[in-house]
Amino acid sequence: MGQGTEFGLVDLEEVETPGDEWEEINVSETEADRIARKRDRKFEQFEERIKDADQFKVEQSVFDDATLAALYKLVQDGYVEAFGGPLSTGKEANVYLAQGDGREVAVKIYRINASNFRQMRDYLEGDPRFEGLGGKKKDVVLAWTKKELANLERAKAAGVRVPEPLATERNVLVMEYIGNAEGRAKRLGEVHIENPQTAYEVMREYMRRLYSAGLIHGDLSEYNVIFDEGQLVIIDLGQAVTVHHPNSREFLERDCRNVANFFSRQGLEVTEDELLEFVTDPEPDPSGE
C-alpha cells in the first residue's frame, strides 16, 4: 500500500479479464439450508441465543431459520466468534459488527423478502453469471450475495480500496470492518473533506480501475464511499455489473453524475462528462504500439 499517500490511493495489482470466476456462482441448496432442516440440538441452542440477543430483537424478521443457520455455519467455520450491534439497517440488508477471527468484521445480511427485489433482477438480467437463474426470490438473493463477494474480490485485485471480502454463506456476507474505536467509518457525505481535489482524484482513479477491470459500481455516490483514516473505501458492490450488462453505460453515466455533483458541491469545477471521459479513456500505451 502506498505509504502516507493522501487519501490512501492503493497500489495496483495485475487483473485478469472479467468473466471466469463468475461461472462458479451456484445457488443450489446450501449447507445452511441443510442445517436449518436437520435442526440438531446445537443449532437449536444457537438459534435461541441469537433470538434472545438484544441487538437482534428488533430485527426478528431478517432472521428466518435458514438465515440463522447461515450465521451458525459462519460461526462453526470460524469466520465469526460473536455478534455485536447493528451498523446499519436498510431495506435490502442489515449490517452488523461482529468479532471475527482475531479482528472485527462486518456481517451483511440480505433479506430474502427484499422489497426492491424487482430492481435486483434488473441488475442481474443480462449478466452472464446469472443466466438460467429462475425467478425464485431466494435464489436471486443468494446469487446477489455471491455477486457482492465476487465484485469485492475483483475490485480489490484491481487496486480499489474496498472492505476485504472474507466469506459468504447463503444470504450472509462477511467482510473486513472499516472503523475504529469511535465506531464505523463515516460516509463521505457525513464528513468534512479537507482537500476535495485530492479526494476527487482518488475517486476517479478508483472508478477508472473498476472500469478497466470490467466493473461498474452502479450505485456510486457519497453514500457508498466511506472515509477511514485518510482513505476512501468504496462499499456496497452488490449491484455492480460488468461492462457487458445491457444497461452498464447508463449505470456508469449515473455514477459519474452522482460523483461529479457531489464534488461540485465541495467547490470543485468538475462535470459528469469530464469524469466519464477520464474513467473510460484508456491510459496511453507507453510502448506506442
Ligand X SMILES: Nc1ncnc2c1ncn2[C@@H]1O[C@H](COP(=O)(O)OP(=O)(O)OP(=O)(O)O)[C@@H](O)[C@H]1O
Q: Which residues form the catalytic set? A: 219, 236
- Angle subtended at Cα 174 by Cα 172 and Cα 222, rounded to the nearest 5 degrees: 95
Residue in 78, 79, 68 with CA at minimum distance from that of residue 42: 68
Residue 236 near ligand X by CB under 6 A: yes
> Out of 106, 150, 160, 199, which residue is the one contacting ligand X (CB under 6 A)?
106
Q: Which of residues 222-261 bind Mg ion (CB under 5 A)?
A: 224, 236
Binding range to ligand X, per CB under 6 A, among 45-53, 73-81, 83-91, 274-282? 83-91
Size of the site for Mg ion (CB under 5 A): 2
Residue 87 near ligand X by CB under 6 A: yes
Q: Could you tell me where the DSSP H helices lie in 92-235?
A: 117-124, 137-157, 196-212
Size of the site for ligand X (CB under 6 A): 21
Give me the least distance between CB of 158 and ligand X, in Å please.
Answer: 18
Give me the least distance between CB of 236 and ligand X, in Å please.
Answer: 3
Q: Give the separation between CA 184 and CA 176, rounded to whole angstroms.
A: 11
Residue in 64, 61, 73 with CA at minimum distance from that of residue 30: 73
Site string for ligand X, 169-198 (x = CB under 6 A): ------xxxxx----xx-x-----------
Residue 80 near ligand X by CB under 6 A: no
Q: Give the separation between CA 62 and CA 68, rounded to whole angstroms.
A: 9
Give me the least distance between CB of 104 and ligand X, in Å please.
Answer: 9
Q: Give the separation between CA 81 and CA 105, rounded to whole angstroms.
A: 10
Give me the least distance between CB of 89 and ligand X, in Å please.
Answer: 7
Q: Pick from ligand X, Mg ion, none: which does 177 bind, CB < 5 to 8 A by kind? A: ligand X
Residue 257 corresponds to which cell in the numbers above? 453524475
Phi, then psi, of 190 in degrees rounded to 5: -105, -5
Sheet containing strand 93-99, strands side by side = 82-89, 93-99, 104-110, 172-176, 165-169
For residue 282, give the amino acid letter.
Answer: P
Q: Which residues bind Mg ion (CB under 5 A)?
A: 224, 236
Q: Which residues bind ligand X (CB under 6 A)?
A: 87-88, 90-93, 95, 106, 108, 163, 175-179, 184-185, 187, 224, 235-236
